[in-house]
Amino acid sequence: MKVKKGNMKKTKKDPVKDFQKQAVDQRVCLFYVADRVKGILEDSKTDAQLRRELEEFNDECIHNIGVNALIEKYEY
């Protein structure tokens, strides 16, 4: 019985790539988020400072989402 090369699927997995894929975690720690928001609310003296701190935290979250998306796209 002859097997055509074009029909064979690769079954060998790269354990390093599998581990790296698991390391990119898309979950968000609600304890971290709650702690950051609480700190921002407690430390802000004015509405302008509150807004600025919340915008910085928003930018941080968006940055981290983007970094994870790029890692997934180009690494895996």
Which two structure tokens, joined as six digits, stand for 26?
Answer: 């898309």
In a domain, 17, yes or no: no
Asked whether 40 and 54 are in contact (CB, 8 A), the reply is yes
pLDDT digits (tens, 9 = 90+) for 1-21: 555 555 555 567 777 777 666
Quote the percentage of the chain above a pLDDT of 90: 41
Q: Is residue 68 predicted with pLDDT exceeding 70?
A: yes
In a domain, 75, yes or no: yes
Domain count, the chain: 1
In a domain, 60, yes or no: yes
Asked whether 44 and 53 are in contact (CB, 8 A), the reply is yes
What is the value of pTM for the model shown?
0.61
Domain that residue 40 falls in: 26-76
pLDDT reported for residue 1 = 55
Asked whether 57 and 40 are in contact (CB, 8 A), the reply is yes
How much of the chain is helix, strand and coil, in % rounded to 5?
Answer: 70, 0, 30
In a domain, 30, yes or no: yes
d(CA 21, CA 71): 9
In a domain, 48, yes or no: yes
In a domain, 16, yes or no: no
